[in-house]
Structure 1
């Protein structure tokens, strides 16, 4: 790797002064610069302190080999040369070796390693995108389904019986079978309601054959309270 006087001066400034890309931990010092080929803050890995440098980037779903040389250092807009790499590792390695054939062997190995990691990341992203469109089938618990169906049927039966009793009483009241309307004691009626509200309601399920008997009992209770 070419190490000129300018590169050494840049590294001395970055090493002893503040660098916005440096992240210190208890064990290592990392670099947040996206062009850093290793992610470590050291002399070889620093993309700012090396006029000859190479790395691999992932841009818009494509793997790009980025290289820079000292000859293009005076043109910041054209400093980096970009070459698209295929997703075939053998072909990509040949391109990397050809473009960096006279460079430091350490940097070439790091660029190849970074290419392999980014290729794996790209493949995982595509697999995750495929799974997002698939419909996940959840297992159906038969026991819970039967329990809910039984509770629903019981609730419907209770509601049907209560509604039938109310309708039958209304029909008999309209038909005049109970005679005149009785004026009950409001205080006693309210006391009975309070007692019923304080007790836990118990629901008894009746068959259709006992329907007439239930209506007769309701009728007798109304007549007794009226007397």
Structure 2
């Protein structure tokens, strides 16, 4: 014959694999525990007559065990499917636990109410929410983030080196011909071609302006009379 007090003295004071201790309270991991707390009245192992509510795939069941089936562990728990209607399900619980302790009846009704509220919220989220929940792999995310940081640092270093090479090339530090990367070298040539074209255009404009200024200056210094040499040439011809 099962003795509940002896069982509780053993698992309640020494060791229980379902117990989880915190700073304030002890909790129970047993799936048949009706409250989730580790105490004498809530322990499903230390009570030969026990009842709880368990939800599976959206359907609630009332689980009961009695001392008469303690010798057959396979048939220890009796399962009763509860109706979908909330009021009718409460009447079912009250009917099957009519002569049970008030603590068991109250806690089972309370647990059933919490499960029904949870199922209602779950259906609303599935109906109105388009967000898909995807599991997050922390190791993969951390690895990808580290790779992005390394790539970003490498890109910044390449930009700094490229800028430094351009500056040295413009300053004439490399007088001989070097085998530069084609893309970088062509880019530098294109930039220099633009600068040279702009410089030549400016020089042409300046030279045209200088020519005009010289013409005006020459016109100002030009004498007002014209020199004729024909008579002198005729006189010289007569002498000869």
Question: Do the aligned residues in 2 keep the contact of 1:30 with 1:41 (CA within 8 Å)?
Answer: yes
Question: Do the aligned residues in 1 keep the contact of 2:61 with 2:82 (CA within 8 Å)?
Answer: yes
Supply the distance in 2 between the matched residues of 1:45 and 1:110 (Cα, whole angstroms): 9
Match of 1:97 in 2: 94
Q: How many residues align?
A: 150
Residue among 30, 34, 40 paired with 1:33: 30
Residue among 8, 12, 18 paired with 2:9: 12
Unmatched 5+ stretches in structure 1: 136-189, 202-216
Q: Kindly indicate whether structure 1 or structure 2 has the higher relative contact order, using CA contacts under 8 Å at least 6 residues apart.
A: 1
TM-score by length of 2: 0.55
Supply the distance in 1 between the matched residues of 2:3 and 2:201 (Cα, whole angstroms): 108
Match of 1:42 in 2: 39
2:69 is the alignment partner of 1:72: yes
Supply the distance in 2 between the matched residues of 1:19 and 1:134 (Cα, whole angstroms): 41
Supply the distance in 2 between the matched residues of 1:102 and 1:191 (Cα, whole angstroms): 99
Supply the distance in 1 between the matched residues of 2:2 and 2:199 (Cα, whole angstroms): 111
1:191 to 1:39, Cα distance in 2 relative to 1, 3 A: closer
1:72 to 1:5, Cα distance in 2 relative to 1, 3 A: closer
**1:25-81 alpha-carbon deviations (Å, 9 max, x no partner):** 222211111111111111110001111100001111111110111111111111111
Match of 1:133 in 2: 130
Supply the distance in 2 between the matched residues of 1:124 and 1:29 (Cα, whole angstroms): 29
Question: Do the aligned residues in 2 keep the contact of 1:87 with 1:119 (CA within 8 Å)?
Answer: no
Residue among 17, 20, 24 paired with 1:23: 20
TM-score by length of 1: 0.58
**1:82-110 alpha-carbon deviations (Å, 9 max, x no partner):** 11112322101111111111110111000
1:9 to 1:134, Cα distance in 2 relative to 1, 3 A: closer
Unmatched 5+ stretches in structure 2: 133-168, 174-186, 192-196, 205-240
Supply the distance in 2 between the matched residues of 1:70 and 1:94 (Cα, whole angstroms): 24
The CA RMSD measured in Å over matched residues stands at 3.2
1:5 shift after superposition: 5.7
